[in-house]
Structure 1
Amino acid sequence: MAVHSNNVTVPEAVRQILTRNYPIYQCLKMKLTNFHAIAEYIQPQVQELTGRKTTINTLVVAIKRFSDTLGETKTLDTAKALANLRISLSGDVADVTVKVRRPDIPKILQELSELGAELSDFPNIFPLTNSIKIILPSHDYDLIKTKLRHLNIIDAQNRVAKLSLFLPMDAWNTPGIASYITELLYRNGVNIIDAFLGHGDIVIVVNEPDGHVAYDVLRREVRPSP
């Protein structure tokens, strides 16, 4: 038996259904949809949520109104946050994954930090649940590769590119700023290999050919502060 709530309005039901359906949601954002076709598709789901029958025309109106709100993805707050975005692009980078046991993480982190201090540029080191990511220039990786042989390196991607994004600390109070940036790259055909989000900075690893594409896409979004 279907479970529904009569407190759910048709517009709210439409919003919930479309937000959770990623392919349709993306098509709506790009204005590549037939509202009538979507209305016919979601009509049974809307009825289940609201507990009442709804006409196709009513659903078309609700879908159109929801679609119109998606054009406001880049809000004024988001634009202001991006205005202070600083970007740097590094090519010829290595993205190394070390498989670890959780009890060994502190010891390995200390070892990697000591090795990193000997390099021309201290690497990005990210401890995860069962692995450690190391992002560093390829020539630096070549220098320390032999010293890492005792570690369980399960993947090492050479010749990738690294984007370092720096935002003022207060920019992280802007809802959705990180997802906006990653989705912006996705919409422009940039395949993100790895992404690490901190409070104030983001490190994104992409394929080498995508590096300049990603940089140019983000630069177009940046507006100088008044």
Structure 2
Amino acid sequence: MDPSINAANLAAPTADLSPLALFLHAALVVKLVMIGLVVASIWVWAVIFDKIVTLRKAKRQADEFEDLFWSGGSLDELYEKYGVKPSHPMAAVFSAGMGEWRRSARIDGIDMSSEGVKQRIDRAMSITITREMERLERWLTLLATIGPVAPFVGLFGTVWGIMHAFASIAQSNNTSLAVVAPGISEALFATAIGLLTAIPAVVAYNFFSNKLNLFAERLEGFATEFSAILSRQSEASMSARKENQE
């Protein structure tokens, strides 16, 4: 090997492989891919923090409401305090059931223990559960979309960057590692950003989906128990009315 060539290679400046340098030296298309992935990553983490705060708040409020509900107090007083303007999902389900029960009770001559009344109460609470869960699940589809797509977007940037690097190598007629490495590194950096965006999105989506499913089951369980309580009260009220008439 020619000593002069070897010495030239050893004397070549070391490429700057810092993230900022990789971004600044990348091709325009690769830069756009990186910027898009960084924006998507910021969006993912914003959704993650929002869901953490929202679910913790919903769980705490549900715990407090259930403690009051099962304390043996008056349902009418609880409705006046929390049901008129419900501020969280559990109170909204209670408000829907209690509101429908009260509206039915105001109808003259209606049999409160009938199956029709029970179905209307159950339907009102079921619709409310669906609406509240849709509100809690807001932006969750964003995580489900970014998670699978981000790696492919990063891979697109990598492929484009490698094509650009090979074109630069062909123009310079120099295949030394010092010339090849920076272009390849810039291209691979796009894939790295794609993975850093996708992994938190996929993990967070699975985590929050499980938590939301458990919370939905909790709301459905509360609705079932509350419906049974209203049914028993309706039957007791109708039985007392019949005894008074006799």
TM-score by length of 2: 0.23
Choose between structure 1 and 2 for higher RCO, CA contacts under 8 A separated by at least 6 residues: 2
- Pick the structure with more strand per residue: 1
Tell me which structure has the larger Cα radius of gyration: 2
What is the TM-score of this pair, normalised by structure 1? 0.25
From the two aligned structures, give the one with the greater helix fraction.
2
